[in-house]
Amino acid sequence: MTTLQVELGTRSYPIYIDSGLLSNSNLLSCHIRSKRVCIISNDIVSPLYMDALKNSLANFDIDEVILPDGEAEKSLANFERIMSDLLKGNHGRDTTLIALGGGVIGDITGFAAACYQRGIDFIQVPTTVLSQVDSSVGGKTAVNHPLGKNMIGAFYQPKAVIIDISTLSTLPIRELNAGIAEVIKYGILGDSEFFSWLEQNIDGIKAGDNRTLAYMIERCCQCKADIVAADETEAGVRALLNLGHTFGHAIEADQGYGKWLHGEAVSTGMVLAAKLAVAMNLLEVSDLRRIEALLSAFDLPLVAPRNMGFEEFICHMRRDKKNLAGKLRFILPTAIGQSEINDDVTEELLQKIL
C-alpha cells in the first residue's frame, strides 16, 4: 500500500492507494471517532460496493443516503436531502460521513460535512479515475447552480482519502477516459516527464494494468497534495489546477450538467486554452499537437459543442471564480510541463479562438 500525506498542519491527512482497501476494516475504522457513520453514495456505485464497505464497518451504527447518479444531482435539493436524513437520524457532531462514489458524491458529501452542525468529519472513498486522481484530494467541496458549476461550497478537508484501485474495474470506458483528462492535466501544467510517461503507457492504462494505474494515481495525488499544501484556498499556485476548467465549466453549465462529462469538458477546455496560448505566442504548435494527440488516444473531445459560440462561453466565463476585478483570468500552458495564470486575454482574441 502506498501512503501519501497532505501537509496542512492540524488538518493534515493521509491518502492510501492500493487494491482491496474497501475490505481493510482497520484502515477505515482508525479514522472514525464514534460508532455513528452515514455513507453517501449513488444508485450505480451502491449496489457494487456498499456491502463490502458496510462489512468492513460491521461494528458501527450505519445509515446511508443513496442519491441518483449524475452531475445534475450535485444540487441544493440533494444537499437538503442529506441534511434532512442526518437530522431525522439524530446524527450528532461525532458522526462521520463517508463519500462512496465519484466526484459528485465526494463534493456533495464534503459540503454536507462542512455545513452539518457547523462541521463534522468525513472520509473520501473515491471510485472513479477522476475522483481518485483529483477531486477527492484537496478539500474543495460544492454543489452546482444552474448559473454556474461549483459556485456554492466550502474548502473543507477530509480525515482520509482511501483509494481502492480495484473499483476501477467496473468503471464504464467513457467514465474512465473522462477521468484520464484530469490525469493529462497534471502533465501539461507542471510535469513534462509524467506527460511523456503517459504517452508511453497508453496501452497499459487502457488495459487496466494495476501497477500502471497505481503509479498514475500516486503521481497525480502527490502533485495535488504538494500544490494544496502550498496554497490550500487557491490564493495563488493552486489556480493552476484549473487548467481547461474555465472553458470546461462553461460547456457543462451551458449544455446541462451531465450531458458532457466533466473530464470531456476539461479535455476540450485544455485544447482551447492551448490554442489561446499559441495565438498569444506563449506555446509552440508542436506542443499543442502533442496535447491533442494524447487526449485523442483516450477518445476525448477536442472541439467545443457546435451550438456554443462566443456569447454562450463569455456569459459563463464572466462568473468564473478565478476572475479578479472583473477581468477574465485563464490558466494557459506555456510548454508541456509549464503553465501560468494570465489575465491579458482580450475578448477580441477570445472571440477569434472560439
| Phi-psi region at 326: left, alpha or beta (left = phi > 0; alpha = psi -120 to 50) | left
- Judged against a pLDDT cut of 90, whether residue 322 lies above it is answered with no
Does an H or E element contain 317, and which? helix 310-317
User: For position 106, what pLDDT does the model report?
Assistant: 98
- The residues, any chain, with a CB within 8 Å of residue 173's CB and separated by 6 or more, are none
- Judged against a pLDDT cut of 90, whether residue 3 lies above it is answered with yes
Q: State how far the Cα of 205 lies from the Cα of 214, in Å rounded to an integer.
A: 10
Instruction: Confirm whether 206 is a catalytic residue.
Output: no
Instruction: Confirm whether 249 is a catalytic residue.
Output: yes
Residue tagged active-site, from 31, 91, 185, 245: 245
Instruction: Confirm whether 145 is a catalytic residue.
Output: no
Angstrom CA distances, 273 to 36, 277, 333, stand at 46, 6, 7
Instruction: Confirm whether 140 is a catalytic residue.
Output: yes
In the chain, where the domains are located: 2-170, 188-353
- Judged against a pLDDT cut of 80, whether residue 318 lies above it is answered with yes
In CATH, 188-353 is 1.20.1090.10: yes
Does an H or E element contain 171, and which? none
CB 273 within 8 A of CB 247: yes
Q: 62 forms bridges with which residues in the sheet? A: 37
Stretch 215-220: mean pLDDT, rounded? 98
Instruction: Confirm whether 262 is a catalytic residue.
Output: yes
Stretch 126-132: mean pLDDT, rounded? 97
Q: State how far the Cα of 1 lies from the Cα of 122, in Å rounded to an integer.
A: 21
Q: Is 289 exposed, middle or buried (0-12, 13-18, 19+ CB in 10 A)?
A: exposed
Instruction: Confirm whether 245 is a catalytic residue.
Output: yes
Residue tagged active-site, from 36, 149, 185, 262: 262
Instruction: Confirm whether 36 is a catalytic residue.
Output: no
- Judged against a pLDDT cut of 80, whether residue 325 lies above it is answered with no
pLDDT tens profile 133-179:
999 999 999 999 998 899 999 999 999 999 999 999 999 999 999 99
Stretch 103-112: mean pLDDT, rounded? 98
Q: State how far the Cα of 56 lies from the Cα of 51, in Å rounded to an integer.
A: 9
Give backbone dihedrals phi and psi of 89, rounded to 5 degrees, phi first: -85, 5
Average pLDDT, the chain: 96
The letter for the amino acid at 187 is: G
Instruction: Confirm whether 289 is a catalytic residue.
Output: no
With pLDDT > 70 as the criterion, what percentage of the chain qualifies?
100
Out of 235-239, 273-277, 280-284, 321-325, least confident range: 321-325
User: For position 184, what pLDDT does the model report?
Assistant: 98
User: For position 5, what pLDDT does the model report?
Assistant: 97
User: For position 327, what pLDDT does the model report?
Assistant: 84
Residue tagged active-site, from 36, 74, 91, 140: 140
> Which grid coordinates are listed for 157?
478537508
User: For position 190, what pLDDT does the model report?
Assistant: 95
CATH topology of domain 2-170: Rossmann fold (3.40.50)
User: For position 319, what pLDDT does the model report?
Assistant: 85
How many CA atoms are closer than 13 Å to the CA of 293, on its beta-carbon side?
13
Residue tagged active-site, from 149, 224, 290, 316: 224
What is the separation, in whole angstroms, between the first and last Cα of the chain? Answer: 45
Stretch 279-300: mean pLDDT, rounded? 98
Residue tagged active-site, from 71, 73, 175, 182: 182
The confidence band for 323, taking pLDDT boundaries of 50, 70 and 90, is confident
- Judged against a pLDDT cut of 80, whether residue 326 lies above it is answered with no
The confidence band for 321, taking pLDDT boundaries of 50, 70 and 90, is confident
The confidence band for 128, taking pLDDT boundaries of 50, 70 and 90, is very high
CB 139 within 8 A of CB 150: no
Stretch 259-284: mean pLDDT, rounded? 97
